A = this chain, B = another copy of it.
Amino acid sequence: MEQREIGIVGAGRMGGNIARRLREVGQRVASVHDQDHALRDALAEEIGARAATSPKEVADTSDVVLTAVSDEASMEEIYREGAGLLEGGRATLFINTATIPPQVHIEVARRARLRGRESLEACLLGTVPHARAGTLYVLAAGDEQTFMRAKPLLEGISSFLRYVGAAGEAAKIKAIVNMVMDINVAGAAEGLGLGAALGIPSEVLVDALSHSAAASRALETHAKAMLDGAYGRFLTADYAAKDARIALDLALEAGAFLPLASAARGQFERMGEVGLGKEDLSAVAQLTFPGRQGGPRPR
């Protein structure tokens, strides 16, 4: 692999574990930024990188910047005109992994091009352990030559890597994947919640669901947490609601009618309204199990 210096913006669980993984496969991670300075400093110290005072400083002190921020507002912030990543003096390649509307990726790519930089979207399917192990499923989009430049780095973090086309195309696929996942998670919570309301032993129900046409990764991943009411740290309900809005905005534009995606969005937005927005999306079970916070009252 090329020995370029890499900068990381976003030192959360995905960004942090990508940085650890890159270092492990022999890449040089030179600098790190996160708006949460404690996160930034801890990661910088752990991997021996510079704790940059701004995104721009990351771009001043590395050749390639990988960003792993969580939403559109953070993308706007790190790429803001006049003071963001594209003002850095050194970095010429930017790889963005956020799950955000396709048009934001398109806009970042446009701004990068105007400044003689290259930007690639790299949508990540997989969880924190996949990031740590370098086994993410990565869909990349942007100019194909930009993809070729980014490829060695992306190969270091993925077990599957595919170039899917122009800027925005990977983000569309990611939006659909998260939409279907959210439907399956919210659906599993309905099945398990109804089972609880009817007094069905949970192990009997889960075994039946798992051995039937109702089986899903969502059920495998989240059933135990839903039954125990002790939720994981996979993706927050607020982010699930955000992802649902991305998909439904695309659907509206395309003239598609998606009543289950709308219902799932309603559930994740309701979680925010009842104070569960920072919980894992599997805590949607709070809305479907009798007697839980946010759920139907016991009779």
A247 to B209, CA, bound (A): 14
Could you mark each residue 261-279 of chain A with 1 if its beta carbon is under 8 Å from any beta carbon of chain B, else 0? 1111011000000000000
- Pick the contact of A183: B162, B176, B190 (CB < 8 A): B190
- Pick the contact of A260: B137, B201, B264 (CB < 8 A): B264
Q: Are B299 and A255 in contact (CB under 8 A)?
A: yes
Q: Across the interface, which residues of B come within 8 angstroms of A250, CB to CB?
A: 194, 198
How far is the CB of A181 from the nearest CB of chain B, in Å?
4
A200 contacts chain B at the CB level, 8 A cutoff:
yes
Interface residues on A, range: 35 or more
A104 contacts chain B at the CB level, 8 A cutoff:
no
Q: Are A296 and B137 in contact (CB under 8 A)?
A: no
Q: Are A194 and B267 in contact (CB under 8 A)?
A: no
How far is the CB of A270 from the nearest CB of chain B, in Å?
9
A169 contacts chain B at the CB level, 8 A cutoff:
yes
A211 to B258, CA, bound (A): 23
Q: Are B251 and A259 in contact (CB under 8 A)?
A: no
A156 contacts chain B at the CB level, 8 A cutoff:
no
How far is the CB of A13 from the nearest CB of chain B, in Å?
15
Q: Are B177 and A209 in contact (CB under 8 A)?
A: yes
Q: Across the interface, which residues of B come within 8 angstroms of A260, CB to CB?
A: 183, 186-187, 190, 260, 263-264, 267
- Pick the contact of A195: B173, B218, B288 (CB < 8 A): B173
How far is the CB of A28 from the nearest CB of chain B, in Å?
30
Q: Across the interface, which residues of B come within 8 angstroms of A197, CB to CB?
A: 251, 254-256
How far is the CB of A167 from the nearest CB of chain B, in Å?
14
Q: Are A213 and B208 in contact (CB under 8 A)?
A: no
A96 to B290, CA, bound (A): 31
* Contact A194-B247, Cβ < 8 Å, known A205-B173, A211-B160, A263-B262: yes
Q: Across the interface, which residues of B come within 8 angstroms of A261, CB to CB?
A: 187, 190
Could you mark each residue 233-265 of chain A with 1 if its beta carbon is under 8 Å from any beta carbon of chain B, else 0? 010000000000001001100111111111110
Closest 3 CB pairs of A and B: A183-B187, A216-B216, A197-B254
Interface of A toward B, CB cutoff 8 Å: 125-127, 137, 139, 160, 162, 164, 169, 172-173, 176-181, 183-184, 186-188, 190-191, 193-195, 197-198, 200-201, 204-205, 207-209, 211-219, 221, 234, 247, 250-251, 254-264, 266-267, 287-288, 290, 296-299
